[in-house]
Homo-oligomer: A and B are copies of this chain.
Amino acid sequence: MKRVTIKDLSKFLSLSTSTISRALLNDKNIHPETQKRVLQAAERLGYKPNSTALNLKYGKSKNIGLVVPEMITPFSSKVLRGIQNILDPLGYRVIITQSDENPLIERKNLKLLEEFNVDGIIINLCHESFNEEVYRELINHELPMVFFDRIPGKSLNVSKVIVDDQIKASLVVEHLINTGRKRIAHIMGPLTIRNVTERANGYKRILEKYDISDPDLIIQTDGMTFEHGRRAVQELLNKKIPFDSIFAFSDTLAIGAMNYLHEQHIKIPQEVAIASFSGTELATIVHPQLTTVQQPLEKMGETAAQLVVEKINNKLSPEQTIVMDTELIYRASTLSE
């Protein structure tokens, strides 16, 4: 069953293709009667505009590329949802690529998206500097780019959507202190991610303020999986470093840690309280539920999408950094019953 084109309609109605096009586009230069006939015929023959032809005509692909480190946790999914809220009604399609936390794959993805003629890129990067030159190149090619969550270093002038990492990290740690914790460990992610440093700074600031800091309490991981969280807390225990609570960079790391604690029959929160950053259901499907800084992921996606669209429609629109509000949510993992 071949697709019906304007040409088919033109033959069918013995009208020129331009007239058909005008009728379809609601042009003023069209007789109402003619338009009615065209519309009816279009309906009857099942005419569907060919978006490829339009894209060629207008020099756009109506594709937006999304680059994320992974899609295994619901983090990226929720952001995607927000992105689609904005982009779907505008007729954009979203092409998703996963970097697997590997900057080389990320680079390949970016190149691929450029090949694919995407009109813009929304990216959550996996290394704050490794691909800086690639980002710069794409931007020079006038490809609109918006970064969210994990953003590149200051030297790149781009639009970003982030959260108030440091402040909220401080608040979390302060909450642990307020609930009587004194030996607060921190499970960091890799240093190649800007938020990792930000959140760690928030943590350090408070521990120093209360004069309870101890470098032994900071465990640096070289990855972001459940397994990394697990190994971090294992390390603390093996080194016999006493601790009564954990602030983890992400819910993934936190949950990994929780699991190991469970296996060791260490009670949460009685013996060890635990808190982290999240924004997904992950925080509520574990037991006990995790105290977290709730990031407005869907809203972040929407905001990022709005920024790309803005940039696509107006190449001169200025770069913006939008800091989203987060909410600290207290749950059972830090509250004794």
Contacts and interface: CB of A to CB of B under 8 A. Distances in A.
Interface string A133-148: 0000000111000000
A88 B53 CA distance: 23
Contact of A55 (B52, B256, B280, B284): B52
Contacts of A81: 71, 98
B287 A141 contact: no
A248 to B, nearest CB: 14
A262 interface: yes
A259 B281 contact: no
A63 interface: yes
A167 interface: no
A56 B49 CA distance: 12
A80 B71 contact: yes
Given A117-B50, A285-B255, A80 B61 contact: no
Interface in A91-109: 93-98
Nearest to A261: B287
Contacts of A255: 285
A49 B141 CA distance: 15
A43 interface: no
A263 B287 CA distance: 8
A61 B52 contact: yes
A23 B166 CA distance: 55
Interface of A: 1, 48-53, 55-56, 61, 63, 71-74, 77-78, 80-81, 84, 88, 93-98, 112, 114-117, 140-142, 226, 255-256, 258-259, 262-263, 280-282, 284-288
